[in-house]
Structures are given as C-alpha cells and as structure tokens.
C-alpha cells in the first residue's frame, strides 16, 4: 500500500483492477440511496420484479416489496454456464492426514438438492423453521442452502453452544426438525455432538433429527438430485440467528430473502473485491452471522471459491492457518483481531517462511482492531502490499455497513473507515446510529418479540433511527472508529456475550444469591468476563468457583468461560438495590472511583479491594 501521513491507500495496480475505484460512487449512492440499491438489486435474478424499493412504517420497513426471489437461484442458476465447473467449496479437515473435500458448483448444487428433497420428505415446508446444529463440515453449508432452496428459515446454533443454549433457541423457533452430526474434531479431540443434540432437544417441538456422519455420509444420500427453488417474497424469512443483548434471553434476529441477498451479494463483491479466480477464506464458524454471510452466501453469490476449515487455528501447530493459506493459494483472507493477536503472540518467526504470494486483500471483523495488531497483520500477513478492510457490522445488520473500500481507501489503523455507499450513519452523543433508508439487509424484527425489537433498536432517538449500541468517533477524514459497546454486551474473542445472560446462568446456582459480570481487559481476546459472586456459606471457595464455571458451561458453553471468579460477601449497590457494575470495573482496572455517596453499602468497596489487591 501507499502511506501518506497517517493514512494508507491501495497501489495504482490494485486500484485499477478493483470493482470500485471512483469516489463518485459515494455521491451517487448518497443522493438517492433507494435508487442506488434498486440499481444493484436489478443485477440479481428475480422471479418477479418488486413494486416498491423501500417502504417505511416506523419502526418497520421493507425493501423490494412485491418481488420474488430465491438466494440459491442467484448462486446456482444465475450465470450458470460460467460457474458450473468452478470450485465452490474447499473443506479442510482438522486431522492433517485426512483428505480435504472439494465441491464444484455443480456438485454442491446436487448435494443441496438432495438435502432439500430429504427435508421435504421429513415434512418441512416453505415457511417452517429448521434447526442446524452442525460443526464446520461441508454438510453445514449444504444444510443452510437446502433450507433456503425450499423456503424454510434456518436457525443455526453454534456447535460449541451447550444443550441448554440449543434448547432455548429451538423452543423459540418452534422448529420440528434439527440437522446435526455425530461429532467433529477440535484441537485433536473428537467431540460427541449428537449427545448434546439429543439432550438439547428435550422439551422442544423437535420430532426428527437428521444426523450427518462426520465421515461425510448423509441421511440424504439416496434422494433425487434436483429440487426446484421456491419462489420467495422479498420480505419472507430467510433465517433466524440468535444473538445476545442486554438481558438474559438471546434475541432471534430475523433476516429476509430479498434485502439480505442484495446486501450479501454487493458488500462481498465491493468490499472483498471478489473476482472470478478468488479463493476466499473467512475464518468464522457458520454459527455466527459472519459465517452465514461471508463464509457461505456472499462468496457463493459471487461465484467464487470459499474455504472452510474444521478445526482449531493452532492445531497441530501454530502455523496451521498459514499452511492452509499457502497451500490453497488464498487470495482474500478475513478474520478477527483476536486471531491476529494470538498469532502475534507466537512471535514473528512462525510466519517468516511463508510468502503468501497469492494474498491480495485482508479483512478484520468482530471487535475493534488496535493499532499494533493492525500493523502486525499488515506487515507479517499482508507483507505491506495488501489493503486491510476493517469491517464494522452486527448480527442485526446482516452484512457489512462500514469499511473503506479496498480500491480507494483511505485505511487507518484502528479505524473501520467510511460507511458503505448508500449507508447513512451519524454519531449522536457518542453513539453510532443508522438513518433511513438503513440497509436492505438490516433485521426486520426479533422473532416473536416485537416489543424487544422496538425497545432495543428504535427507542433511543425515536422510531426512525436505528440504535447500534456501539460508541464511535469520527476523524477529520470522515473515518469512523468504533469504541465499543455501550450496553451490557462484551466482545470476548470477537464473540458477543451478554453479561446479563451470564449472570442469569450463575444465579441458577443454588447457593449464589447475587452476582455481577463485567468485561475486563485481555491481551489476546480483547475482553474477557470476570465474575463477582456473593457467597456467604462455609464451603471451600475453590469448590464454589468451580461450580460457577460449570454452571456457565452448562447454560451457555465454553465461549463464555470467565477469566476470573471472585467471591464476595457483598457487592456495591445503589440505595434502590442496583448493583454498580461500573464501580467493579473501575476497581478491577485500578481507576479513580469518584463519588461513592450514592452507594447504600460503601463498606463493600473496601472488602472488594482486599479481594482484588490482597
Ligand atoms: C458487535 C456485533 C460483525 C459481524 C460479527 C460480529 C463489534 C463488529 C467491528 C469492527 C469494532 C466491531 C461491535 C458490534 N464489532 N465489527 N470492525 N470494529 N467493533 O457480530 O456478534 O453481532 O457483534 O461487534 O461492537 O456491535 P455480532
């Protein structure tokens, strides 16, 4: 890249070949965003054109209403002649001796159709919800696409979530079928997923399990290998994906067929500059929105090759990812700052022997990337030639909304960049908000919970302003920097964790009367949870701490495991009984506490100091 003062720009050559390289696009899109998105939408395949570009009945809105579309027709039927023999999916298993699996578009379509026909045979109909609890194996992609093919909404649950977490989600969706697997490899161990699945579907409406064998044997092996794509209304449900918010229960974000497809297609094309020979590796698990949009839908909509890796990033050795990039000739690589910081912590030597000649573009997502991680990524992975797109978005937005485009820049370490063309954002009192017409892919609701939808996103600045729950600042170039969440969500290794959800889990322990969870600084993970639990019993502290940890493991899963657990006799509270988490955070960080006169129990502060500092 080219560096001017504190900003970076792509080279002339990169710029010349990029899909977007003329800043006029921002004016064109900004002057009439609806017209702009309609122009992009027209390049997709629609069974029937839409009547209205954008309709707004705050806090609800629609895009492309009246149109009929299927996302899989835009993957498998659009441009079919040019893409049918290209590689769609490369799958790398964790065990190094096992054979990778590779699918052309034709082969993938066959699998998708077989699975779709099998789902139909099981009684799944258009409009139904289907649970997917699968590891990172090709069948996870196949299952998602098969649901989309027949117009059923998938709801993918991250395979490392516990049976309890699976249960809550499946109860909410009302799904009758769950697609799962016998197991998978992670860090050298075989994980028995089926056991968790069977446990997790108790007390749900799930009547049938479709069990994929990790070896590749599927229950849909014998089915017919063609299935027609269902014609979906633009505003029909594409999928539900659960995410954490301020309070205990996860929220089912609803994404719809038309707008999601348009945004997934175009953000990938312009932000990752997808060209026909690209091999794209987005390292996210399919259980997260990043996996939905950028491991699966966006690259496949654009007819390029997407790569999936089953295992742990450092198994069997810290350079496993580097080996895969090199061996597969990955051209565009997209990962989270936590992974970058982890590799950085292994020292420079591990990447020295890799040239990464094919890499031309890098991406970052999920949490703020600090300047030193950015520079390490730029120097050691990008070898000073690759632009870095730091992409801001959320489960709710369906696709990327803020990032500088690779063919133009400017890029600045720790800054995510400029809003995507056609996206209007503002920073109000330090809070990042999105203005109408929002984005075609923005969520349309929280499943079965319209009240929560209105309260969470459309109440802080009125019904016409989408509240992101992120704090942000903007620099003189118009580049945006995300500071972090302003609610009770913490980002642990890029995963979104609700401290409220953790507290509810811990309070499930018989002997814990009260607790508070805060985010504390972690060099690799960015943030990590710390638990303060009230315990006044006589059992050994170590035992209680262990039980708290297993309680979290049981209700949520290993991603929410706390870095520290402190047992206290009492927690600082206001006179109305609210726990002052802010004070705990300051105590942990050894910051000035300020005025404590509003506390009902100021003596609790000294006791906690003793626990923390000895
Ligand atoms: C939250 C959303 C983005 C899809 C994966 C995570 C944080 C996301 C960035 C970024 C700083 C970021 C925000 C956001 N976040 N991307 N590039 N820079 N922060 O989706 O789990 O719904 O989390 O992740 O805090 O609100 P999610």
Place 249 in a pLDDT band, splitting at 50, 70 and 90.
confident
Helix, strand or coil, per DSSP, at residue 168: helix
Place 103 in a pLDDT band, splitting at 50, 70 and 90.
very high
pLDDT of residue 545: 98
The CA distance from 292 to 400, in Å, is 12
The CA distance from 69 to 53, in Å, is 14
User: Once rounded to an integer, what is the mean pLDDT over residues 69-95?
Assistant: 98
pLDDT of residue 34: 98
pLDDT of residue 522: 96
Ligand 1 atom at minimal distance to the Cα of residue 396: 22
Three-state DSSP string of 442-507: CCCEECCCHHHHHHHHCCECECCCEEEEEEEEECCCCCEEEEEECCCEEEECCEEEEHHHHHHHHH
Do residues 337 and 373 touch, judged by C-beta distance below 8 A? Answer: yes
- Residue 248 confidence (pLDDT) above 80: no
The CA distance from 397 to 118, in Å, is 31
Ligand 1 close to Cβ of residue 388 (< 6 A): no
Ligand 1 close to Cβ of residue 551 (< 6 A): no
- Residue 368 confidence (pLDDT) above 90: yes
The CA distance from 454 to 3, in Å, is 44
pLDDT of residue 350: 87
No. of H helices and E strands in the chain? 21, 31
Place 33 in a pLDDT band, splitting at 50, 70 and 90.
very high
**Six-digit token pair at 605?**
């502060």
Ligand 1 close to Cβ of residue 363 (< 6 A): no
pLDDT of residue 347: 86
Picking from 479, 447, 43, 81, the residue whose alpha carbon sits closest to that of residue 262 is 43
**Exposure string over 186-214, b if 16+ CB within 10 A, otherwise e:** beeeebebbebbeebbeebebeebbbbeb
Ligand 1 close to Cβ of residue 382 (< 6 A): no
Ligand 1 close to Cβ of residue 158 (< 6 A): no
pLDDT of residue 230: 98
422-448 pLDDT, tens per residue?
A: 999 999 999 999 999 999 999 999 999
Looking at residue 5, the DSSP 8-state letter turns out to be T
To test the ligand 1 pocket, which listed residue (255, 271, 366, 439) has its Cβ within 8 A of the most ligand atoms? 366
pLDDT of residue 348: 80
User: Once rounded to an integer, what is the mean pLDDT over residues 217-230?
Assistant: 98
- Residue 528 confidence (pLDDT) above 90: yes
User: Once rounded to an integer, what is the mean pLDDT over residues 250-274?
Assistant: 98
Ligand 1 close to Cβ of residue 431 (< 6 A): no
Nearest-10 crossing angle of helices 499-507, 541-555: 120
The CA distance from 443 to 435, in Å, is 14
Write down the mean pLDDT value for the chain: 97
13-24 pLDDT, tens per residue?
A: 999 999 999 999
Q: Who contacts 66 (Cβ-Cβ below 8 Å, separation ≥6)?
A: 48, 49, 50, 51, 52, 233, 234
- Percent residues over pLDDT 70 in the chain: 100
| Sheet-wide strand order for 480-485 | 424-428, 431-435, 466-474, 480-485
pLDDT of residue 247: 73
Ligand 1 atom at minimal distance to the Cα of residue 495: 21
Q: For residue 18, is the peptide bond before it cis, meaning its omega torsion is within 30 degrees of 0?
A: no
Looking at residue 395, the DSSP 8-state letter turns out to be G
User: Once rounded to an integer, what is the mean pLDDT over residues 169-180?
Assistant: 98
């Amino acid at each position: 890249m080219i560096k001017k003062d504190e900003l970076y720009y792509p080279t002339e050559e990169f710029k010349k070949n990029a899909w977007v390289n003329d800043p006029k696009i921002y004016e064109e899109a900004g002057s009439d965003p609806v017209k702009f998105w309609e122009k992009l939408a027209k390049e997709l395949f629609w069974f029937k054109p839409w009547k209205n570009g954008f309709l707004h009945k705050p806090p609800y809105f629609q895009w492309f209403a009246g149109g009929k579309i299927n996302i899989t027709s835009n993957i498998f039927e659009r441009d079919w002649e040019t893409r049918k023999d290209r590689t769609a999916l490369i799958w790398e298993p964790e065990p190094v001796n096992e054979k990778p699996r590779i699918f052309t578009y034709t082969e993938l379509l066959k699998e998708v159709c077989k699975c779709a026909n099998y789902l139909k045979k099981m009684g799944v109909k258009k409009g139904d919800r289907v649970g997917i609890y699968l590891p990172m194996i090709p069948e996870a992609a196949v299952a998602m696409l098969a649901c989309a093919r027949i117009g059923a909404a998938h709801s993918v649950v991250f395979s490392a979530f516990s049976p309890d977490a699976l249960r809550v989600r499946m109860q909410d969706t009302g799904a009758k079928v769950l697609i799962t697997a016998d197991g998978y490899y992670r860090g050298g161990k075989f994980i028995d997923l089926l056991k968790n699945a069977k446990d997790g579907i108790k007390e749900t409406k799930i009547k049938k399990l479709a069990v994929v064998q990790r070896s590749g044997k599927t229950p849909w092996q014998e089915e017919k290998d063609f299935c027609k794509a269902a014609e979906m209304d633009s505003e029909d449900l594409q999928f539900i994906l659960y995410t954490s918010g301020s309070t205990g229960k996860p929220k089912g974000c609803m994404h719809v067929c038309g707008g999601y497809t348009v945004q997934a297609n175009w953000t990938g094309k312009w932000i990752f500059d997808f060209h026909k020979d690209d091999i794209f590796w987005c390292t996210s698990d399919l259980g997260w929105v990043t996996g939905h949009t950028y491991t699966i839908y966006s690259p496949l909509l654009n007819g390029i090759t997407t790569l999936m890796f089953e295992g742990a990033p450092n198994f069997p050795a810290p350079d496993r990812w580097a080996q895969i990039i090199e061996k597969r000739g990955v051209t565009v690589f997209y990962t989270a700052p936590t992974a970058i910081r982890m590799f950085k912590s292994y020292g420079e030597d591990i990447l020295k022997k890799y040239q990464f000649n094919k890499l031309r573009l890098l991406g970052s997502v999920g949490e703020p990337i600090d300047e030193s991680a950015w520079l390490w990524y730029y120097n050691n992975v990008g070898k000073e030639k690759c632009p870095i797109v730091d992409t801001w978005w959320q489960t709710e937005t369906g696709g990327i909304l803020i990032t500088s485009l690779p063919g133009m820049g400017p890029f600045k370490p720790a800054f995510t960049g400029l809003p995507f063309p056609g996206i209007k954002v503002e920073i109000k009192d330090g809070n990042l908000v999105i203005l109408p017409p929002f984005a075609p892919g923005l969520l349309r609701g929280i499943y079965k919970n319209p009240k929560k939808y209105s309260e969470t996103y459309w109440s802080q600045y009125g019904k016409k302003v989408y509240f992101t729950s992120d704090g942000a600042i903007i620099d003189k170039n118009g580049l945006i920097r995300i500071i972090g969440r302003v609610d009770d969500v913490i980002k642990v290794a890029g995963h979104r964790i609700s401290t409220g959800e953790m507290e509810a889990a811990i309070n499930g322990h018989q002997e814990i009367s009260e607790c508070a969870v805060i985010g504390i600084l972690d060099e690799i993970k960015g943030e990590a949870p710390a638990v303060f639990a009230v315990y006044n019993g006589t059992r050994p502290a170590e035992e209680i701490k262990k039980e708290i940890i297993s309680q979290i493991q049981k209700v949520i899963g290993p991603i929410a495991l706390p870095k520290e657990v402190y047992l206290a006799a009492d927690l600082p509270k206001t006179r109305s009984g609210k726990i002052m988490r802010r004070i705990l955070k300051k105590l942990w960080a050894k910051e000035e506490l300020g005025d404590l006169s509003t506390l009902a129990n100021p003596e609790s502060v000294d006791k906690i100091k003793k626990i923390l500092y000895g």
